[in-house]
Structure 1
Amino acid sequence: MFVFAAHHLSGNIAAQRFKGLLKYLDPAKYRIFVFAREPASGAAAASSTAGITIFPLPGHCVGSESSATASLLTLATAFLRPLPFLFARDAGRERPWLVQALAAADRLCAEKRAAGERCVAIGTYSPIDALVAAASLASRHRIDCLQDFRDGLVFEPLGKPGRLRTWMRKLIEARVVAAAGLITSVSPPLVADFQRRYPRKATAILPNGYDPADFAAPGRTADDDPRVAAILAREVPTGTQLIGHFGRIGASDGSASRSLDFFVDALNEFPASMADKHVMFVGELTEAERVTLERARFSVSALGSVERLLALQLMQRCDKLLLLTGSRASCATGKLFEYLAAGADIVCVSGVRNAATAILAETGAGCSLLTSAGASAGDALRVALSPRAADAHRDISPYSKLSQAGMLDRWISDMVQP
């Protein structure tokens, strides 16, 4: 299995999508090669494990960090798939990541096919380079291909706006989809969109999920980092109920910042209802969001970004977990699934009913309210933040990486059957 996941060694939530899945596949059945970007300077690279070899490769990918000229080769490869192989022999560090990844994958794929092994290529967005690489390798060696779009590419406004960019995204999406035997994405609205636009292609939901290994088993206390107690003692007033929000808000989806505005305004109207509560934001906030929190008339703190494992431990110490989503119907942000595993009741404030609100209703892990409901939503918010009995029907098992790995195994097995 040749997995092109440029973000695999990064610390962001996107990295967890395949990082958690692959380790649960049977090493006696799969030999997995992951082509990732080198981690940032000073970050520790993940080591290879049984059945999984990780290639941390240098080079730029399409995005804000690269110029239009530097991105041309990757974009052109979507239409001329043999193109990067012409540069493979002299693939120095200055070459794009796409060339580096395909140079390594091409050699290995030829070797494994010569040995009679069945192969499959997987690309996972974003960046677009990973999808283009998977399509190129699949075409060159005539192997099966799974293209995982995660958050989609053209369904909702992603990336920089503009008619030309939108047109190009549609063209590139069509080219990488053409090589795929299966298209996967995180939520029903996204998968329905792919089904509508590519009716001859097989599509499936591969939701984000949580890795059970990252969380303490039910009834067992997590072995907290000593910093957890220090942070809670410093940030949270004694005897208060802790409501936690983790990760970015508007920096990921600008419309979600309006849900933060609603949250603060609704609670400011009745500060007495928050007298025994503290809200802690852990993660990156925009300057506008910091200004919003400054006008809160209740106890609140902004911790800033912390390393992931520390964030997960803090998450498990919260009494309530706050989820803020905006106007994107497909939104099923990665933090939601870690919230599910953390165990606390989840309160979602959203601009629309979306994939996240549907998952909360399905799992019984929390409640949702819409900002459009106005004053009644404010009343519902204050009730939702009050202690309540655990839902007896809470079932989060479909979102475990262990369960999802079984699903991925079945798909891959069906694709490569002789």
Structure 2
Amino acid sequence: MTPRQRDKILLVTYDFPPGLAGVRRVVKFAKFLPMFGLDPVVLAARPDDGLPSDAEALAQVEAAGYAVCRTPSLDAHQVRRAGRKLREAFRREWSKLDETAKQPPPASKAPVASPAKRPSRAAGLWRAISPWFLLPDDRVGWLPFAKAAAWRMLRRQPVRYVLTSSYPNSAHFVGRWLKRRFKVTWIADFRDGWTQNPYFARYPTPLHRWWDARLERSVLREADLILTVSEPIAAHLRKAGGGDRVHVIPNGYDPDDFRDIEPLEFDRFTLGYTGTLFMQRSPESFFAAVRALLDNHPGLADQFQVVFRTQFKPEHEAAIREMGLENVIFNWGMGTYREALQLQMSADALLVLEGEAPNAEIMLTQKIFEYLAAGKPILAAAPRGALSDLVRRSGAGVVVEPDNVFQMKERLFELFHDMVPYRPDVELIRTFRRGEQARRVAELLGKA
């Protein structure tokens, strides 16, 4: 048998371990593509130490042995955090010189705002003003560093393929630039939508919307191959200029990730949630449903709990207190990826939340595939679209309207009493294994 020809593929992604969000897809491409003659090298931004991190995931990447080039970035988030560190260092040094800084303020003075609250105000201000002058996104300051590093990498070693993965969409301009200069085959991978993204496509004027759509079309016209995670996103990308070069390769799960995880033991029925909560992905309607469930069935208070692995906002914590749910709803923090999987494997049922918003039908969160692999009934509070369709097609749970408290309360009661139909389509779920998805990428490149 003739040995498979091996080629280098450069994977360009802003986020990579030890970061937690948005890293799984590229990490798994890097793991499985070598089985099909594609040896990865990775180009990523340096990790942001102001965000949750996962040392275990970083150790796995380092053990895999492929090269990872990390560059600086002048994107707004990292610059803002660097400025905050500088201010904090200045305050520390100043307090050493100013002995009065150690004295409590006079009682007549108003209390000084906690420094911990300042970044959130700055972040809110930044979110309001950045869409006015940063397109396609607020990571565009990474581009000069990424292009320079990619240039050096391709000058040193032959690279046949370049795969750029978004969000952020800025990453695709590295691929376009490399294609023009090195004649590589460029694959543009969209983990999220671009101009129809319900979270990030915020335009202060019609001119901004027009210009961002123009940037999107320029990427779609030049990419040799376009991948995305759901059919609603694919339909838009085809119409916007991608045509028949657009292919759906959904997110998925890696069975190896679930091995050697010791399940937790709970003394009551446990509904688990893992992942981020932001913007319209709010848990407050769900909290109200739990409160309504306990009001109707007070005896469940000692037999039922909800465990989150996420980051609550102050308003989420306040809502739990106001509804008297402190002994029923718990947040264990984001934790590592393996800790999230441990909760998924240990809970009696799993919760996914996706709010109503323009274009929300395109959303297909990564964790739904892990939930399917964990083999537990799913309660999905989600609008019509890719996410709700998958839950129904897979036979793995029930769907309710995102803000329908009554529906959620009724389904929670049915979950507790094992009345929710759970007939998972095992063959469908097996198609979401990460190795299968890497094989499909290789097929599209003529490597399998």
Q: Aligned partner of 1:335: which letter?
A: K
Identify the residue that residue 284 of structure 1 maps to in structure 2. Answer: 311
Indicate which of 437, 440, 443 corresponds to 1:404.
437
TM-score (norm 1): 0.78
Indicate which of 3, 19, 23 corresponds to 1:11.
19
Identify the residue that residue 411 of structure 2 maps to in structure 1. Answer: 380
Identify the residue that residue 68 of structure 2 maps to in structure 1. Answer: 54
Indicate which of 224, 234, 243 corresponds to 2:271.
243
Work out the CA distance in 2 between the residues paired with 1:75 and 1:316. 38
Identify the residue that residue 103 of structure 1 maps to in structure 2. Answer: 148
Residues 370 and 223 from structure 1, CA distance in 2 versus in 1: closer, same or farther, beyond 3 angstroms? closer
Aligned length: 375
- CA shift at 1:167, angstroms? 3.2
Consecutive unaligned residues of structure 2, counting only runs of 5 or more, are 1-8, 81-125
SS of residue matched to 1:52: coil
Q: Is the 8 A contact 2:163 2:175 kept in 1?
A: yes
Residues 259 and 201 from structure 1, CA distance in 2 versus in 1: closer, same or farther, beyond 3 angstroms? farther
Q: Between Structure 1 and Structure 2, whose CA radius of gyration is higher?
A: 2
Indicate which of 363, 369, 373 corresponds to 1:337.
369
Q: Aligned partner of 2:30: which letter?
A: L
Work out the CA distance in 2 between the residues paired with 1:293 and 1:73. 37
Work out the CA distance in 2 between the residues paired with 1:303 and 1:330. 29
- CA shift at 1:324, angstroms? 1.1
Once the two structures are superposed, residues 39-98 of structure 1 have per-residue CA deviations (whole angstroms, 9 ceiling, x without a partner) of 2449755555667321122223466857999x989969xxxxxxx9xxxxxxxxxxx532
Once the two structures are superposed, residues 263-296 of structure 1 have per-residue CA deviations (whole angstroms, 9 ceiling, x without a partner) of 3354244234734211111111122222332215
Q: Is the 8 A contact 1:263 1:349 kept in 2?
A: no
Residues 369 and 54 from structure 1, CA distance in 2 versus in 1: closer, same or farther, beyond 3 angstroms? same
Identify the residue that residue 90 of structure 1 maps to in structure 2. Answer: none
Matched, 1:274 2:319: no
SS of residue matched to 2:16: coil
My pick for the range that moved more, 150-159 or 256-265, is 256-265
Identify the residue that residue 207 of structure 1 maps to in structure 2. Answer: 250
- CA shift at 1:215, angstroms? 0.4
My pick for the range that moved more, 162-171 or 127-136, is 162-171
Once the two structures are superposed, residues 334-382 of structure 1 have per-residue CA deviations (whole angstroms, 9 ceiling, x without a partner) of 12122122222111122x1221111112222222122466645542342
Residues 304 and 372 from structure 1, CA distance in 2 versus in 1: closer, same or farther, beyond 3 angstroms? closer
Once the two structures are superposed, residues 142-199 of structure 1 have per-residue CA deviations (whole angstroms, 9 ceiling, x without a partner) of 2221111211111133324422543332122122222211222211111111122226
Q: Is the 8 A contact 2:285 2:404 kept in 1?
A: no
Consecutive unaligned residues of structure 1, counting only runs of 5 or more, are 77-83, 85-95, 217-221
Work out the CA distance in 1 between the residues paired with 2:364 and 2:408. 21
Identity across the alignment (%) = 23
Residues 312 and 102 from structure 1, CA distance in 2 versus in 1: closer, same or farther, beyond 3 angstroms? same
- CA shift at 1:28, angstroms? 6.9
What does 1:91-170 correspond to in 2, within 5 Å? 96-113=141-158, 119-159=160-200, 160-163=202-205, 164-170=207-213
Identify the residue that residue 321 of structure 1 maps to in structure 2. Answer: 350
TM-score (norm 2): 0.74
- Which structure's residues are more often helix, by fraction? 2
Matched, 1:196 2:204: no
Identify the residue that residue 394 of structure 2 maps to in structure 1. Answer: 363
Identify the residue that residue 92 of structure 1 maps to in structure 2. Answer: none
Work out the CA distance in 2 between the residues paired with 1:128 and 1:358. 26
Work out the CA distance in 1 between the residues paired with 2:300 and 2:203. 40
Work out the CA distance in 2 between the residues paired with 1:180 and 1:272. 58
Identify the residue that residue 380 of structure 2 maps to in structure 1. Answer: 348
Residues 105 and 408 from structure 1, CA distance in 2 versus in 1: closer, same or farther, beyond 3 angstroms? same
Q: Is the 8 A contact 1:9 1:37 kept in 2?
A: no
